[in-house]
Structure 1
């Protein structure tokens, strides 16, 4: 954590950042945030984006890789919150079989598939996002298994079980922010190096009983290329970014969450989005991220290397 004295200006900056979160969703007109269903390489997917009237620049694409057996609908509030910071958030349901078990298990190839979808969607005449997508900028969001798949992709490695289909890291990939994610091997024998080629943030609930905070700390230390960030969300557990504490089909977290669900979602979305906006080159997001954010946000503590 980098302590910074909170000032009235800093508090105002925090209020400004939190105020951009959307409160209602529809695809009615240019003043309404966008939400619609689609398919990405045959996978059903949900898409979220800010209202056309809210942004003037093209929107980078954020692919959200789901946790194991956590359906895409469980991320609706988190995805909408991230989208409110200026992203097209794509949340697919990717079903496949690993180790003889069929279920929702993301893989690295989804990054390239999502870029293909984005290029098509940006030119599709009937799309509410026609001409609004920055098809040259992709960032990753991820939860648990999906975060591990994304973390592997940031290194350029095709790593089983996260690489069922041969995959390469797209040149358009610019950064990543993962929740409840680590690369700790079974038995806790130490975290192998993460030779990442894009900036990575780890967002971790302090009450996570499935992906231990200590494992996230070890992974943060193993990430080799800065900038990198570890954001600890006080009181959140493994399902701190899902709509409910018991997503259908997912393994329950034996550790109770001690903050409201909305608090975990908003804090995680805020820090993920601001990190990704910063690595995409937004100067004012960087001022908040590296300067005042930690001092004025009571929901988190932060470690980083710029």
Structure 2
């Protein structure tokens, strides 16, 4: 997926838990994950949360990839939730370049903040009184990751912004984006990313849609620390969806050389721990900035605090 002007690489032209990884990193919180359906604005939304967790939980908004239905992120969302997040996965349908389909938008964080306030107060909500309404983090895939970078800049960026101006909600604290770069289509230009919050890129080395070299260049264009790029060996563009090449989305012709379980668990673990570190979790910070790279045989990591 190429950012800022497309949904996948063709949008403007037509868009281990494997053994080695499991042994190489701390296990996710053993709380169990519950699920229910909700709605954010007009978007049908899946909500995942650690059922046994205590205290208030931060919310992670999943910005879906272009033309990828929310149901394809169930396993990834559950993995993130197991680390202590309420994960919301809306189906955000809108018109983009004459195509009415699933395309993330910069409007979604503000809509999610409203949902957080309402859901935390709603009698009968499984999360009544359990949501940290001051804290929202971002997850994104492909076009959704592009949208996340635009949100992190607090700037209205076409085609992710549907208004004339944009201000990032103060509740947004960090973002982790999979299969994401900011190469302008047809121009070969990578604009600077003037991020206001910590940003992590998770990039599959076998990605045939969002090329690894473009993610490296994008990482170099992220201006402000903390920032990090996690290279996930053998994962392709659909390493975080429940199955390869989900129906409705542009396929990745490059084969993934690790299992889907491996790619989902590893990508989710690194995303969740980066986001927790950004929220002040010392153990997570130690993992993502010090010990995790050497312990995890599937990744190589570059970062700056």
Q: Partner residue of 2:249?
A: 250
Say whether 1:229 aligns with 2:238: no
Q: Quick check: 1:240 aligned with 2:249?
A: no
Q: Which moved more, 1:203-212 or 1:285-294?
A: 285-294
SS in structure 1 of the partner of residue 274 of structure 2: helix
CA distance in 2, matches of 1:185, 1:262: 32
Q: Which residue does the alignment assign to 1:280?
A: 279
User: Residue 140 of structure 1 contacts residue 150 of structure 1 at CA under 8 Å; is this kept in 2?
Assistant: yes
Q: Determine the C-alpha separation between the residues in 2 that align with 1:255 and 1:79.
A: 24
Corresponding position of 2:295: 296
Stretches of structure 1 that go unaligned for 5 or more consecutive residues are: 1-10, 23-30
Residue of structure 1 aligned with 2:61, choices 43, 60, 63: 63
Following the alignment from structure 1 to structure 2, what is the Cα–Cα distance between the partners of residues 34 and 228? 31
CA distance in 2, matches of 1:235, 1:119: 40
Instruction: Compute the RMSD of aligned alpha carbons.
Output: 1.6
| Equivalent residue, structure 1, for 2:7 | none
Unaligned segments of structure 2, at least 5 residues: 1-20
Indicate conservation of the 8 Å contact 2:32/2:82, yes or no: no
In 2: Cα distance, 1:46 partner to 1:12 partner: 27
User: With CA pairs under 8 Å and 6+ residues apart, which has the higher RCO, 1 or 2?
Assistant: 2
**Within 5 A, what are the aligned runs for 1:94-133?**
94-133=92-131
Asked whether 1:82 is paired with 2:80, we answer yes
1:31-71 Cα offsets, whole Å, 9 max, x none, are 752200111001101000101x3x22311110000000000
> Aligned to 2:272, what secondary structure does the other structure show?
helix
Give the match for residue 37 of structure 1. Answer: 37
TM-score when scaled to structure 2?
0.90
- Give the Cα–Cα distance (whole angstroms) in 2 for the partners of residues 94 and 65 of structure 1: 8
- Match for residue 158 of structure 2? 160
**Aligned residue-pair number:** 284
Contact 1:13/1:288 (CA < 8 Å) preserved in 2? no
CA distance in 1 between partners of 2:95 and 2:240 (Å): 25
> Which residue is 2:27 aligned to?
18
